[in-house]
Each structure stands twice: as C-alpha cells, then as structure tokens.
Amino acid sequence: MTVEPNTRAAVLSEALPFFRRYSGKTVVVKYGGHAMGDEIVAERFASDIVLLKQVGINPIVVHGGGPQIGQMLKRLRIKSDFIDGLRVTDRATVEIVEMVLSGSINKQIVSAINERGGYAIGLSGKDASLIRARKLTRTKVDPDSHIEKVLDLGFVGEPAAINATVLETLRNSAIIPVIAPIGVGDDGQTYNINADTVAGAVAGAVKAARFLLLTDVAGVLDKSKRLIPELTADESRRLIEDGTIAGGMIPKVETCLQALADGVEAAVIVDGRVQHAILLELFAEGGAGTLIKRR
C-alpha cells in the first residue's frame, strides 16, 4: 500500500513529540496468551517492540501462556483445576508450566523479535534470581461453619522481589528482555506466577514510564459499556467499589494501581486486538485503551 507523502509527514509530525517524551525511558509490556495464538498478531507485536527499541525506548516484555499451558496439560492428560482464576499447580503441573512458559512460548517470542531486526533474549525468574517468589495463599469462608479456611494452590507464587539490576544492565545494551513468569523461592522451588502480576512488579521495580497491559477488551468500560479513556487511582478504586469495574477487570486494575504505587508513571489497559495498539498508545493522541494515573 502506497502512503501519500503528506499523510506520511502528518503521521511523523504527530508522533515526533511522543518519541522525544519516551526517549531513554522504559516501557513494560504484558503480552497475553490468547494474542500469541494468532500468527499475524504475533508478527505485528514483534515488529512494534523492535520499533520501540529503534527509536530509543527500552521495552521489556513479560508474557503469559495460559491457553498454551492448558492445551499441553490436556494433551498429557493431566487434570487442572482453578481457584479464583488461578491454576492449582501440583508438582507435575509446575514442570509442564515451566516447560511451556520458559521453553516454547518464550523462544517463539524471542525468535519473532529477532527475525524483525531486534536482539531479544529470553529469561525466566530463575535467571540471575530475576524473580524471587513466595508461595501464594488464598482463604475462603465456609458458608456453613463460617470458618475461614486456607486454600492450598500448590506451587503458585507471587513476586517477593525483582532483581532490577539485571534489567538495568540490559537497558544499556541493544537487548530486549522477554520474561516468562516463573519465580524461584528461597528454598529453590519453582513457582508459577500470574503474568499480569509479574509484569506489574517488573514495571514497579524499574520505575517504568509506562506499563502496558494488553487485553482482549477495549479497556475499562463504564456502566453503559463505553470506554473510559482515562482514570486516576482514586477514580479507579471508586469504580471497583460501586461495581462498575467487575469480574476479571478488577485484578488487572489492581495490578495497575500497585504498579503506580511502586513508582510507575502511568499504567494502561490496552486493547491488544487493535492493530499496532502499542504504537497508537505511545505515539498518538487518544491511545488505545484506558490510561490510569496517580492523580
């Protein structure tokens, strides 16, 4: 497709101030499992990440892989249960989770970025103790006895600490880190961690200028199902309290709020279905989702 010179000039003119705004800054992008199943979307994502690096931005990719893990467990006939949206992970399951996340998925993303001119390297939380983890617990009140019970999720963890030194070292190179959400405990045990949570923790640890959480919805919607383009942290909490933000969007917004509290300048729940959503969010007025800022 041929682009008219005037159109090309207008696009560059609009994008240039944003290039300057983010030059030298870090942007953490959480890349979801469903999007990775579409080859065209995956190629477009890789190209966009390479472009960020080429214009002087420091991108860090954290990826999920729930659908791919589910497919592998089904193929191996390993039963998998969920509690509050978290996969119960026994010893057999955590081995498969690590194999899929740190192996096939991570290397597919790395290869896609490298094929488009980037220099990506795959990491898991075990590499240089990048993600120190602790066991995650959930409690539930029995409706009959009203006794609170601790639910054992197995080898499911949460970030205890992020080794930001590793990522700061890579920041000063041409390398693009691609991180699988596998953590390691003080006892050397492997833990499966929610990718959104890892991405938010990484963004906070490196004090990212932007934390982009790619989803398969438009962003945060109001009660009339219209996109809310921008929210403050206080407004976000009020929308959770009054039920406007509900279901699976709650943990995503809470992850963004925690990232802001940890020092991220702004977090964005981005509609990953939109072509070049990352570029539109960073380099154009209006963006491609819901921006959440401190105030």
**CA proximity to 56, closest of 27, 76, 85:** 27
Q: Residue 283: its pLDDT value, please? A: 86
Exposure of 72 by Cβ count < 10 A (0-12 exposed, 13-18 middle, 19+ buried)? Answer: middle
**CA proximity to 124, closest of 79, 86, 87, 162:** 162
Q: Would you give per-residue pLDDT tens digits along the chain (295 residues)?
A: 454 555 545 555 566 666 677 889 999 999 985 566 677 888 899 999 999 999 999 999 999 988 888 888 889 888 878 877 778 888 888 999 999 999 989 999 999 999 999 999 999 999 999 999 999 887 666 666 656 666 778 889 999 999 999 999 998 899 999 999 999 999 899 999 999 999 999 999 999 999 999 988 889 999 999 999 999 999 999 999 999 999 889 999 999 999 999 999 999 999 888 888 899 889 887 778 899 999 8
Token pair for 157: 């963890």
| Residue range 59-192, CATH number | 3.40.1160.10
Q: Which stretches of the chain are DSSP H helices?
A: 5-22, 39-54, 66-75, 91-98, 106-115, 164-171, 195-205, 233-241, 249-261, 277-283
Q: Residue 3: its pLDDT value, please? A: 47
pTM above threshold 0.75: yes
Q: Are 51 and 29 in contact (CB under 8 A)?
A: no
CA distance 48 to 42: 10
Provide the terminal-to-terminal Cα distance of the chain, rounded to the nearest Å.
42
